[in-house]
Amino acid sequence: MTSAPALTDGFHLFLDALKLNGINTIYGLPGIPITDLTRMAQAEGLRMISFRHEANAGNAASIAGFLNGAKGVPGVCLTVSAPGFLNGLVALANATTNCWPMILISGSSEREIVDLQQGDYEEMDQLAIAKPLCKAAFRVLHAEDIGVGVARAIRAAVSGRPGGVYLDLPAKLFAQTMDAAEGKNSLIKVVDPVPRQLPAPESVQRDLNLLKGAKKPLIILGKGAAYAQADADVRALVEKSGIPYLPMSMAKGILPDTHEQSAAAARSFVLPEADVVMLIGARLNWLLSHGKGKTWGGKDHKAWGGQKFIQVDISPTEMDSNVRIDAPLVGDIGSCVSALLAGMGNNWAKPPVEWTGAIAERKNKNIGKMAETLAKDPAPMNFHSALNVVRDIVKAHPDAMLVNEGANALDFTRSIVDMYQPRKRLDVGTWGVMGIGMGFAVAAAVESGQPVIAIEGDSAFGFSGMEVETICRYNLPVCVVIFNNNGVYRGTDKNLSGGADVAPTVFVKDSRYEKLMEAFGGVGVYAATTAELRRGMEEAIRSRKPTLINAIIDETAGTESGRITSLNPAAALKK
């Protein structure tokens, strides 16, 4: 009697393909047709982090991609069909916008029923819908193609400019069987998923020539530089050149914010004054006022300020997107920066002291003013006094991950809380999207093993608040601090009609958010003073217990839209 050949199936081939490529964690939410897949993932030794809403699982996967993408490992989010898939799409689109590698994997209904629109359970043409929102989208119909599908998805996500990828897995795929040996042989371990992309020597020389002639040079580090994990070389470039630098939000900490060359506290001075600006992994989008206009010393809101730009980026088509790029340097940041370092030689002249001295003067004045504000301890707390506490805690725990969203809660945290290590600050990114908070916090804890501090506006928190249960369930060392000022931006708006409903930006006053955490066994803290906030945060970090601190902030503090009030169309006609 001959024994039947060993078989494998779609479930196992898919999980084996992930594992083969170093993907050990899946963020997702079970249901038809992927319930068994989530169970088997766990059984096969993957970490399956199960969320309460796919939006948060998607955000978790996207920030895992930010943290690990340079090592060739994208974040993975797994959802059910139609509604679950749609719930994951904001994160997929956000990942693509931010250049983070994430693969959204969704189960889908039967192709022949979907394509004839015969009304299957959760019927939707998911592939077509995902396509415009991501870098690439693939569907696998046959078990023997799983290896290729996963390999293509990984390569598309992490190579070149990273981004979101959609992978469609129809229900019928999972139970398909094939010979186990052939199945194993069909899997692909992606070789060199993040190939180096060397810059052209003549481009390097062009950059150095421009930089050499500069009287007032400036370096801007963006989150692409943080993503690339070329920390030592980026730091060496800044220090060897002696050029002042500005870190974009998520680039904070590549060099410690206390570095003497940081011009962050003199931002509004250096942008219009600089003559040559080198962008490293930063785009001239709205966050940099498109490289022109008054921020840059232009005469009006669209006028060029006269700066020459060097741009280091992996994407050639990023160049000239907003203003002329005089010296594009296309390649991966690690290779570009090391080529620049080599080209600078050993006697590179530092920038003129007139420039660095003028910056230091502005900077010290502003830091002095800020120190005075931070030293005040008003009752109730305001953003500054509460953030003075957070600032101390982060300084004492530079390994901790800091997640941050809100409007004022975002802007003030970014400018007040110094970061000391790369890829510790995780925030709303290019879109300024609310809802990333708890998803990012979960992934930050899972991926790093470090304590996580999430500084959340009360509105921002609401978008993902139910995931405090997830934080408790996995017993993650997350300390959520809600800056509770009773509403979106502030809690003081009035209903213009005089009716009984509160204004659209106002919430229930004095909400007891800390009880949410207590409901699931975590620690809830009500903090009305800076002393209570400090005690709560210190204890959370010490104990590593899931903690939610409801920090009561003056409801009149803060401004509409935080720092971007100017982007908010307000009625020109007042009744």
Footprint of ligand TZD (CB under 6 A): 406-409, 432-435, 457-460, 483, 485, 488-489, 558, 562
Among 40, 63, 282, 476, binds ligand ADP (CB under 6 A): 282
Residue 485 binding result from ligand ADP, ligand TZD, none, given CB thresholds of 5 to 8 Å by partner type? ligand TZD
Binding mask 69-108 vs ligand ADP (x if CB under 6 A, - otherwise)?
Answer: -----------------------------xx---------
- Using the contact rule CB under 6 A, the part of the chain among 82-90, 283-291, 381-389, 481-489 near ligand ADP is 283-291
For ligand ADP, which stretch binds (CB under 6 A), given 78-86, 168-176, 185-193, 314-322? 314-322
Q: Which of 194/428 has CB closer to ligand TZD?
A: 428
Q: Between 87 and 249, whose beta carbon lies closer to ligand ADP?
A: 249
Q: Name which of ligand ADP, ligand TZD, none residue 318 binds, using a CB cut-off of 5 to 8 Å depending on partner kind.
A: ligand ADP
Bridge partner list, 33: none
Binding site partner of 10, from ligand ADP, ligand TZD, none, Cβ cut-off 5-8 A by kind: none
Nearest in space to 167 (alpha carbons), one of 131, 117, 118: 131
Compute the least distance from the CB of residue 165 to ligand ADP, in Å.
Answer: 15
Strand partners, 526: 550
Please tell me whether residue 207 binds ligand ADP under the rule CB under 6 A. Answer: no
Chosen from ligand TZD, ligand ADP, none, partner binding at 409 (C-beta under 5 to 8 Å by type): ligand TZD
Separation between Cα atoms, residue 449 and residue 451, nearest integer Å: 7
The interface partner of residue 435, options being ligand ADP, ligand TZD, none and the CB cut-off 5 to 8 Å by kind, is: ligand TZD
Residue 517's binding partner out of ligand ADP, ligand TZD, none, with CB under 5 to 8 Å set by partner kind: none
Please check whether residue 45 is in contact with residue 19, taking contact to mean a CB–CB distance below 8 angstroms. Answer: yes
In order of 219, 253, 283, 329, the CA distances from 310 in angstroms are 9, 22, 11, 7
* Coil, helix or strand at residue 277: strand
**Position 332 contacts ligand ADP (CB under 6 A):** yes
Which residues, other chains included, contact 347 with Cβ-Cβ below 8 Å and sequence gap of 6+?
Answer: none
Amino acid present at 151:
A
Q: Give me the sign of the Cα torsion angle 330, 332, 333, 334.
A: negative
Tell how far CA 88 is from the center of its chain. Answer: 16
Written as six digits, the tokens of 437 are 């908070």
Task: Tell me which of ligand ADP, ligand TZD, none is bound by residue 530, counting a contact when its beta carbon lies within the kind-specific cut-off of 5 to 8 angstroms.
Answer: none
**Torsion angle (degrees, nearest 10) of CA 12, 17, 18, 22:** 130
In which element (H, E) is residue 397 found? none
Q: Binding to ligand ADP (CB under 6 A): which residues in 221-240?
A: 222-224, 227-228
Is-contact 490 502, C-beta < 8 A? Answer: no
For residue 524, which phi and psi values (nearest 5 degrees)? -110, 135
Amino acid letter, residue 464: S
Query: Which of these segments, 15-23, 42-50, 72-80, 248-256, binds ligand ADP (CB under 6 A)?
Result: 248-256
Can you tell me the distance from the alpha carbon of 85 to that of 83, in angstroms, rounded to the nearest whole number? Answer: 5
Give contact residues for ligand ADP (rule: CB under 6 A): 98-99, 161-162, 222-224, 227-228, 248, 250-251, 281-283, 285, 287, 313-315, 318, 332-333, 430
